[in-house]
Structure 1
Amino acid sequence: MQSGNPALNKNAFLDAASGALLSHDSEAMTLNGTVNKTGLLLVLVLVGAMFSWSHYTGPASLPALLPFVLGGAILGLILALVTAFKKTWSPVTAPIYALAEGVFIGALSAMFETRYPGIVIQAVGLTFGTMAALLLAYRSGLIRVTEKFKLGVVAATGGVMLLYLASFVMGFFGHSISFINGHNSIGILFSLAVVAIAALNLVLDFDMIESGVNAGAPKYMEWYGAFALVVTLVWLYLELLRLLSKLQSRN
């Protein structure tokens, strides 16, 4: 059973580990190494976000942020796909991805902050608070990653992605799925569900990284594991922004 994060799955680490066994001189992936690289990628996300945010000087500057939103999102998507298919490139592609994604979320966050003052710091706090709480629950054994747990999270994640894809395609024909962006009770409940699903993906990510360490995956998989965690954290942050904006719009 795979992680709900498309960049993080059991086969990714096991395949890499089996390759590493062929070379006795190769260094193995470690948990501390993955944690350190995750921290570095998050710093790069912050650097990218500060760069694009610095171009915000008030509501009149919002149109100037659109190139950062679109450019960062497109480049981030391309780099994510490259990293997912060429894991050995992750020591190079993962840091560049983090910078690109930072530029994207920095500009987007400035747009949200303009309309809903204080929303960004709330979303950031909730994102890292959720990660810390789930990591503690996972390490303490409070949350057990069983096959049923994995199946439920993966199925729910797939359902959300299909809904988003359908909404995107329908947008070309002037239609939309109202509850995705709706600010009514149904829209808020939907966002709460998606936030929960994104958060639970972090638990699967922790488990898959630990499995990679135990399997003796090669050193470069530390970068890949860190990259995958950042992918999930960015998704969680964006969903929290969406949820908080819906809640504040009702005040």
Structure 2
Amino acid sequence: MAAGFEGKTVSGFFLNNVKISFLVNNPKDVIQWCHYHGGFYEQDELKDISLVIPTRANILDIGSNVGNHLVYFIKFCRNVQVTPFEVNPSALEMLKSNIALNAVGNQVNDKYLGIALGQFEGHVELINGDKIANNLGAASFSVSNDPQGLVMRPLDSLNLEFKPDFMKIDVEGMEIAVLLGAEKTILDARPPLYVEVAPQNRAEFKKVLKEWGYTIERTHQRHKGVVNYLCVPW
């Protein structure tokens, strides 16, 4: 069911008798298509990984996009708190709307929205804005020398007020940089990791896992060339 929301379209549906709402400004978008037609993107995968998320978990949602995973975690995991990271201005606007539409703001720590995570402090810029008309989640960024660019910081530099109990990372090819910038946090907290890994990064990703004492519990692959790894500490 779709309805108007400040001149835009809101898709509402029920899952397990729970009302879910998402703002949709492009029904052809890969993720928004699922919302428009009454479901979550990667719904089966979300159900699977939710089984390893403990009660009252602090979740880091790195690469939140429009909030697909964030809303699922809050609605269908047990009393969790989610800290999202999203730097793409177009996605960020929709993410904030979806947090409001689902009335989950009291379980969202929005302190770091607008900050890109990486291995070092610096700046990033959008590099493929003209190629993502129907896949907002495919927006990718590169390190920039422009001091006016979007701010990038390593997770370890943020001095989080909590230890994460679960980390989801979907950053379109920057996953190694994000992981290396979060090494201290990860080794201290030892949370399960759910990471989308680009083909060119898989060897390095597995090397890092081995060095950190993590093993791959299982994988999910919905699209060619895109593999999500659920990883747990030994």
Which TM-score applies when normalising by structure 2? 0.22
- The structure with the largest alpha-carbon Rg is 1
Q: Select the structure that is richer in helix.
A: 1
Which TM-score applies when normalising by structure 1? 0.21
Q: Select the structure that is richer in strand.
A: 2
